[in-house]
């Protein structure tokens, strides 16, 4: 059974530090007092568009949507079960299903923030945008799996986390580029996703301790 390291105090301090701007962000969004930063970045990215970048970032966005990511999660879940990583499989379901429910069913309807105005490079989007489920869900999944892989293959840890970081940032940027989200949606998604990731990792450690006693 893999032995996972304790979550460092630095991570907990970072969580506490991030909670203040996140709460401020939530307060602004809830009161419909939006940031000028959102409009400025939206305008800047709109001016940079060309057919090549449109093709790249539209496909990045589409291949990181709920359905594609859900298929990847299912493959990861089956792999963990086949390897008899029962605790990891249960915690994966907790992490990914939990973030999906919290963002799409609780937070987005609560804040009720409209997406950026059209034209967009993608369609069939839900009406609410804050926080970004794209940013939160992918962060939780890719960093959760990075921990599993890095624990089993420590010599690959920096590469695994490096790839996960690049993927999460690329997915977040693609959401901005295709005009699906505001910048503050992405920032809110990253912060909330990080908080949920820590909760999920603690749940994994709790499951591991219970399994070790059997």
This prediction has a pTM of 0.89
- pLDDT for res 94: 96
- pLDDT for res 145: 94
d(CA 70, CA 129): 20
- pLDDT for res 37: 87
pLDDT tops 70 at residue 6: no
CA dihedral 149, 137, 8, 18 (to 10 degrees): 160
Average pLDDT score over the chain: 89
Determine which of 5-9, 104-108, 157-161, 178-182 has the lowest per-residue pLDDT on average.
5-9
Determine which of 50-54, 89-93, 117-121 has the lowest per-residue pLDDT on average.
117-121
Q: Provide the token pair at 179.
A: 């005009």
The domain spans of the chain are 9-212
pLDDT tops 60 at residue 57: yes
- pLDDT for res 3: 65
pLDDT tops 60 at residue 214: no
pLDDT tops 70 at residue 213: no
Average pLDDT over residues 94-117: 93
pLDDT tops 80 at residue 70: yes
Q: Provide the token pair at 173.
A: 């940027």
CA atoms within 13 A on the CB side of 168: 27
When pLDDT is cut at 50, 70 and 90, the band that residue 211 belongs to is low
Taking each helix axis from N to C end, the angle separating 183-212 and 36-48, rounded to the nearest 10 degrees, works out to 100
- pLDDT tens by residue, 169-185: 999 999 999 999 999 99
When pLDDT is cut at 50, 70 and 90, the band that residue 89 belongs to is very high
Give DSSP secondary structure letters for the chain: ---PPPPPHHHHHHHHHHHHHHHHHHHHHHTT---HHHHHHHHHHHHH--HHHHHHHHHHHHTTSHHHHHHHHHHHHHHHHHTT-HHHHHHHHHHHHHHHHIIIIIIHHHH-PBPPPSP-S-----SB-SS-HHHHHHHHHHHHHHHHHHHH-GGGHHHHHHHHHHHHHHHHHHHHHTTSS-HHHHHHHHHHHHHHHHHHHHHHHHHHHHHHT-
Q: What are phi and psi of 19, to 5 degrees?
A: -65, -30
Cβ-based neighbour number of residue 98 at 10 Å: 16
């Amino acid at each position: 059974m893999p032995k996972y390291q304790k979550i460092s105090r630095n991570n907990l301090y970072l969580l506490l530090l991030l909670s203040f701007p996140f709460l401020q962000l939530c307060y602004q969004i809830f009161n419909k007092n939006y940031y000028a930063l959102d409009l400025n970045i939206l305008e800047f990215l709109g001016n940079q568009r060309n057919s090549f970048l449109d093709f790249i970032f539209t496909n990045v966005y589409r291949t990181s949507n709920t359905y594609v990511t859900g298929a990847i999660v299912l493959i990861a879940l089956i792999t963990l079960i086949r390897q008899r990583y029962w605790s990891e499989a249960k915690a994966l379901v907790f992490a990914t299903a939990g973030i999906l429910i919290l963002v799409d069913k609780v937070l987005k309807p609560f804040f009720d923030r409209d997406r950026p105005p059209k034209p967009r490079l993608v369609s069939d989007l839900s009406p609410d945008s804050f926080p970004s489920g794209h940013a939160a869900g992918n962060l939780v999944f890719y960093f959760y799996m990075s921990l599993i892989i890095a624990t089993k293959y420590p010599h690959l840890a920096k590469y695994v986390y490096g790839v996960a970081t690049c993927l999460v940032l690329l997915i977040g940027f693609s959401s901005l580029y295709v005009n699906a989200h505001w910048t503050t949606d992405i920032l809110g998604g990253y912060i909330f996703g990080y908080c949920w990731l820590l909760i999920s990792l603690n749940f994994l450690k709790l499951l591991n301790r219970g399994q070790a006693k059997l």
